[in-house]
């Protein structure tokens, strides 16, 4: 993204993040507080999400104010700017990333073994963003082998950390 467009991007993203922070705080306040069993107020389940939501809101408010001082509110939307926006490779990569993450989180985790789902997710991600950008056939072979190795390691290590260190039952 061009440097002159950053205040506009900051303006839009900060509004989205402020809404997200408020949403987190609202949901953290709705979590149980366990007053009836005499729980310490600092050990309730919603305290960490509430703090994180508040921090997200405050920091996005700072970015919002900074974007206002840099006239980021003047988006200058017209047909050409929208066309240029949707043709940017960075937007296409971001949308592809969101799509891959949604497929992983909604369709794969829970219906496939966690390790297999994570392996496929990492491998597909690496192939799409590393391998397809390489022109050299020798480099592609090496990248494919490294991608498979990385996918195996990530799936194994992340799964082991959650299962044995955090004691989370994986699907």
> In the chain, what percentage of residues exceed pLDDT 90?
49
What pTM does this model have? 0.63
Q: Give the span between the Cα atoms of 54 and 29, in whole angstroms.
A: 12
What confidence score (pLDDT) does residue 145 get?
92
Of the ranges 4-8, 109-113, 162-166, which is most confident? Answer: 109-113
Q: Give the span between the Cα atoms of 132 and 28, in whole angstroms.
A: 42
Report the chain's mean pLDDT, rounded to a whole number: 87
Banded model confidence at residue 59, pLDDT cuts 50, 70, 90: very high
The pLDDT of residue 54 is above 80: yes
What confidence score (pLDDT) does residue 155 get?
96
The CA-CA-CA angle for residues 133, 139, 140, to 5°, reads 60
Three-state DSSP state, 34: coil
Identify the CA nearest to 159 among candidates 104, 103, 118. 118
């Amino acid at each position: 993204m061009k440097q002159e467009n950053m205040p506009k991007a900051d303006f839009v993203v900060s509004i989205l993040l402020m809404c997200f922070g408020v949403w987190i705080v609202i949901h953290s306040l709705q979590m149980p507080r366990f007053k009836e069993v005499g729980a310490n107020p600092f050990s309730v389940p919603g305290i960490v999400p509430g703090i994180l939501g508040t921090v997200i809101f405050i920091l996005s408010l700072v970015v919002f104010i900074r974007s206002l001082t840099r006239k980021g509110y003047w988006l200058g939307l017209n047909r050409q700017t929208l066309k240029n926006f949707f043709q940017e490779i960075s937007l296409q990569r971001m949308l592809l990333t969101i799509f891959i993450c949604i497929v992983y989180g909604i369709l794969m985790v829970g219906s496939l073994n966690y390790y297999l789902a994570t392996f496929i997710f990492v491998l597909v991600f690496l192939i799409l963003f590393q391998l397809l950008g390489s022109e050299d056939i020798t480099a592609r072979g090496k990248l494919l082998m490294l991608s498979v190795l990385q996918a195996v390691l990530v799936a194994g290590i992340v799964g082991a950390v959650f299962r044995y260190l955090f004691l989370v039952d994986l699907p």
